[in-house]
């Protein structure tokens, strides 16, 4: 006896298209508008202004002059290769995909960290999402959204969500129980403990999840190019289809530049959280030291 799981899945897709197709049309329109707005900013402004902003962000988040100079030079190389528009289009798609992935993954990770039942249910689903071949996600995405940029973003979101959920949950669960008990002893409510204790201390792990989400989103660029997503993925796919080694290499190099830049910047933001917490702790210590003599005199 053969159990046709694939036929059942296909019937579910057909039912959804017949009954809630309007929903997917609305999602496609909304995503297209958001990506279009980001592209207007990234492509509409002068390339050297965008390069200056990107290099400034690298300097502010990583405090590394070497990375800042590398970022400026690398993006100038993209301009010289004539791939600036495609690169900014890809960056817009990646940013939107990451935004939706984090909007889903981080709250779900927090929920899973605070609820063992949710964690037990979510864990096998995440395993399935990560183990499933990437190309499989494109099939229902094309059915729901047609060809173009939107199905590529949809497949990217599904593929990139798991690290955000896992590392957010891990960051909250691995916290020292004594800290939580101390906060509860002072009468702090669960919401306040989550906001002021758990999330700040888990910031490093959450940012590691953000970094992984970005890397997975970029890894989907070329795959999404197969369904007409355009950008650098389209350049690489065109190079493969036409056996144009030079064009394919240039498109791949531009993807690598974006990947290196985003990886280093998000890694810098991860360490920046530790620096900000250290400064905040020192500020609170100075404030306490300053008020101690006043309190002693009043006593």
CB 193 within 8 A of CB 183: yes
287 in a structural domain: no
- CA angle, 132 as apex, 203 and 161 as ends, to 5°? 20
14 in a structural domain: no
CB 114 within 8 A of CB 120: no
296 in a structural domain: no
CATH for 157: 1.10.3720.10
pLDDT recorded at residue 240: 80
- Half-sphere exposure in the Cβ direction for 67 (13 Å, CA): 20
Count of the separate structural domains present in the chain: 1
pLDDT recorded at residue 238: 83
250 in a structural domain: yes
pLDDT tens digits along 181-233? 676 776 667 777 777 777 888 888 888 888 889 888 888 877 777 777 778 88
6 in a structural domain: no
pLDDT tens digits along 246-267? 888 888 899 899 988 988 888 8
pLDDT recorded at residue 127: 87
- Flag residues of the chain having pLDDT under 50: none
- Residue 113, C-beta contacts closer than 8 angstroms, at least 6 positions apart: 119, 168, 169, 171, 172, 173, 198
292 in a structural domain: no
pLDDT recorded at residue 289: 62
CA torsion sign for 258, 262, 263, 265 is: positive
Q: Quote the domain boundaries for residue 181.
A: 20-279
181 in a structural domain: yes
**pTM beyond 0.85:** no
pLDDT recorded at residue 171: 87
Question: Which has the closest alpha carbon to 112: 104, 100, 122, 124?
Answer: 122
Q: How many whole angstroms separate alpha carbon 175 and alpha carbon 184? A: 14
């Amino acid at each position: 006896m053969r159990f046709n799981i694939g036929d059942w899945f296909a019937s579910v897709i057909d039912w959804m298209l017949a009954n809630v197709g309007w929903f997917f049309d609305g999602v496609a329109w909304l995503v297209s508008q958001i990506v279009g707005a980001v592209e207007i900013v990234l492509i509409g402004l002068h390339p050297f202004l965008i390069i200056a902003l990107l290099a400034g962000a690298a300097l502010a988040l990583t405090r590394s002059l070497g990375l800042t100079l590398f970022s400026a030079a690398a993006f100038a190389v993209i301009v010289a290769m004539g791939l600036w528009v495609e690169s900014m289009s890809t960056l817009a798609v990646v940013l939107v995909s990451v935004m939706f992935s984090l909007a889903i993954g981080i709250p779900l990770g927090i929920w899973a960290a605070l609820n063992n039942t949710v964690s037990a249910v979510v864990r096998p689903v995440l395993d399935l999402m990560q183990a499933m071949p990437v190309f499989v996600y494109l099939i229902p995405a094309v059915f729901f959204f047609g060809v173009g940029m939107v199905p590529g973003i949809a497949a990217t979101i599904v593929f990139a969500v798991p690290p955000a959920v896992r590392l957010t949950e891990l960051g909250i669960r691995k916290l020292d129980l004594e800290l939580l008990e101390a906060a509860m002893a002072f009468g702090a409510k669960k919401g306040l403990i989550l906001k002021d204790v758990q999330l700040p201390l888990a910031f490093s792990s959450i940012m590691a999840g953000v970094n992984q989400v970005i890397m997975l989103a970029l890894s989907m660029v070329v795959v999404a190019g197969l369904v007409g997503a355009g950008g650098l993925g389209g350049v690489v796919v065109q190079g493969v289809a036409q056996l144009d080694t030079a064009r394919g290499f240039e498109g791949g190099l531009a993807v690598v530049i974006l990947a290196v830049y985003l990886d280093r910047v998000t890694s810098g933001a991860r360490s920046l959280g530790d620096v900000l917490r250290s400064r905040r702790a020192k500020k609170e210590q100075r404030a306490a030291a300053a008020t101690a003599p006043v309190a002693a005199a009043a006593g």
